[in-house]
Amino acid sequence: MRTPRRPALVGGLALLVLLGGAWVGAYAAAGDGLPSGARISGVDVGGMSPSEAESALRAGLAETVAEPIEVAVRGRGGGSAEVTAGDAGLSVDWAASVAEAGGGRSWDPRDLWDRFAGGEETDAVVRVDDAAFDRTLERLEGDLGTEPTDGAVTFVDGEARVSEPADGRGLDPEGARSALAAAYLSGEPAELAITDLAPDIDADDVAEAVEAFADPALSAPVTLTVGSEELELRPEQYADALTLTPADGELEPGVDPEALGPVLDQVTAGAGEPVDARIEVRRGKPRVVPGKPAVTYDPADVATALLAVVTRPEGERTAEVEGTVRPPDLTTKEARALGVREKVSEFTTEFPYAEYRNTNIGRAAEIVDGTLLQPGEVFSLNDIVGERTRENGFTEGFIISNGIFKQDLGGGVSQMATTTFNAMFFAGLEDIEHKPHSFYIDRYPVGREATVAWPTVDLRFRNDTDHGVLITADLKPSTPSSSGAVTVQMWSTKVWDVESVTSDRYAFTSPATRTLDTPDCYANSGYGGFTVDVTRIFKEPGSEEVVKREKFNTVYTPSDTVRCVPPGSLSGGGGGGGNGGGGGAGRG
């Protein structure tokens, strides 16, 4: 027979009803208030409704959150600063803070228990505006830290220069965020730790760039072929166009097309007219100054070609560049092949003080200086110097005309002609045309001198060697207390040793006397004329054997004595007496 269980079941149900009623009663009694012991960031909000708690929290933290936050930095360097909560993007989420502390209704028995017998200290919920915080952190790093310095390799004055990297000092963003938020609520200083910041380009990156690019790039010249022209670029020329640019933690090699412009101008004439090679004397030695072809090209193409070959080993540093070329009339290769290597002759003549001589001889020397004669080419002083005019830089000076002195433009240029003739004489070049003065001038070598007059009387000689001949000329001006001097040098490959032998003077003639009443009369004390022979003797360099001789016969007419009388005082209004002197003209 079964035992009846109904009373036990009824008792259990009654207990459940009783407990449920108590749970509902507790829920109703608790309402939405906070736990009795709740505190938020030190503000007592226990038992308050959420709205009451929020108001209490705002009032309790009002002064704290309004104060600037003091920032102290620990570590190397240290320092301190102040920031405002607004600048740092910090704000309190009041509602979330209350909810986090337990505000609001809940059926959870644990929450119901806390309403009457629990509660704890919680921190107010701080919201952070990331953009504002990042700006403040950047400012603090600027004030209290330093940016790391990347290593670098630059090219200056044809050399690679290394800038060593350096660590910076910075703040840990997450640690700074937590410290500032805590200090914002507590009113205590925020302690931030500063740490070393490594540069993107470190010492290893710099060393690799130097070894892999800079050193080989500056190790040897590069040859760029544009059309038929080879352009040699030396490292010191193109170095400043090289670049090593930071990219993804490395130094990336490059060539700056714009910086290549001045480099290419050194070796080409651009799209203009070609520039001939020339030869200059520097420190007593002839040196070839390279010619410049006229070249059209795209600088970007040149930069690409240069970058492709600049790290190759010597012998493989050649690249082709698309473009067009017009070579100069005298190329660098041709100038070097002329064999202008040494001084083969030099001659100096002196002259007394006269400003017109300084001007006219100096101007002629300036024009002649640097003349380059190709093999077989003829030198003409008149062609090179040109007509002696004021526009050409000349002034009036004394000349010899019809056996007497007169003034005319270019007086004194014959001094340059005589000096050049003697330099030609001892260089062993072929005399084509020279005319001695009509009467002898004792500052010139007897029988070895020349006069010129535009356009009829010229000094001409031919370079009959297989080498080029460079002619240089220099003037030392005269002063009232010292003579002037003009020097002409010829540079080539020595072909001859030349000696000069001068005969005794013979066939003497006597001067006449002239009396002139012209306005341009200049008195003169005359002297006689004579004939003289000069022999040029040719020997091979270092040999005593005579290869050939060349004789120059010179007849000097007398220099007439000239007496000047008042203009118009002679019958007929002009003319003179005595023997007629020698004719001819020249700029003495």
User: Which tokens sit at 39?
Assistant: 């505190």
Q: State the pLDDT at residue 116.
A: 47
**Distance between alpha carbon 253 and the CA centroid of its chain, in Å?**
20
Give the start-end residues of each E strand in 88-197.
90-92, 121-122, 126-128, 152-156, 159-163, 168-171, 190-197
- The DSSP element (H or E) to which 67 belongs, if any, is none
pLDDT band at 477 (very low <50, low <70, confident <90, very high): very high
DSSP H stretches of helix in 4-108: 6-30, 50-66, 85-88, 94-100
421 versus 264: the higher-pLDDT residue is 421
Exposure of 458 in the CB half-sphere (CA atoms within 13 A) = 17
Going across the sheet that includes 469-476, the strands are 342-351, 484-492, 469-476, 371-373
H and E: helices and strands count for the chain: 16, 36
Q: State the pLDDT at residue 297.
A: 85
pLDDT higher than threshold 90 for residue 113:
no
Q: Strand 506-509 to strand 546-556: parallel, antiparallel, or no bridges (unpaired)?
A: unpaired
Q: State the pLDDT at residue 572.
A: 57
Residue in 121, 128, 120, 123 with CA at minimum distance from that of residue 64: 123
Q: How far apart, in whole angstroms, are the C-alpha atoms of residue 126 and residue 140? A: 21
Q: State the pLDDT at residue 19.
A: 44
Q: State the pLDDT at residue 85.
A: 83
| Distances from the Cα of 392 to the Cα of 354, 355, 364, 387, 457, angstroms | 19, 17, 10, 7, 19
pLDDT band at 341 (very low <50, low <70, confident <90, very high): very high
- The DSSP element (H or E) to which 117 belongs, if any, is helix 109-117
Residue in 414, 430, 351, 404 with CA at minimum distance from that of residue 525: 404
pTM: 0.61
Give pLDDT tens digits for 31-78. 468 888 889 888 998 888 888 888 988 988 888 888 888 887 765 556
pLDDT above 90 coverage of the chain, percent? 52
- The DSSP element (H or E) to which 515 belongs, if any, is strand 513-516
Which of 95-99, 255-259, 326-330 shows the lowest mean pLDDT across its residues? 95-99
Task: State mean pLDDT over 293-322.
Answer: 92
Q: Which residue has the tokens 């690249």?
A: 319
pLDDT higher than threshold 90 for residue 544:
yes
pLDDT band at 103 (very low <50, low <70, confident <90, very high): low
Which of 140-149, 426-435, 507-516, 530-539 shows the lowest mean pLDDT across its residues? 140-149
Q: How far apart, in whole angstroms, are the C-alpha atoms of residue 100 and residue 112? A: 15
For residue 142, give the 3-state DSSP assignment.
helix
Give pLDDT tens digits for 415-462. 999 999 999 999 999 999 999 999 899 999 999 999 999 999 999 999
pLDDT band at 328 (very low <50, low <70, confident <90, very high): very high
- Do residues 465 and 384 lie in contact, with contact meaning Cβ atoms separated by under 8 Å? no
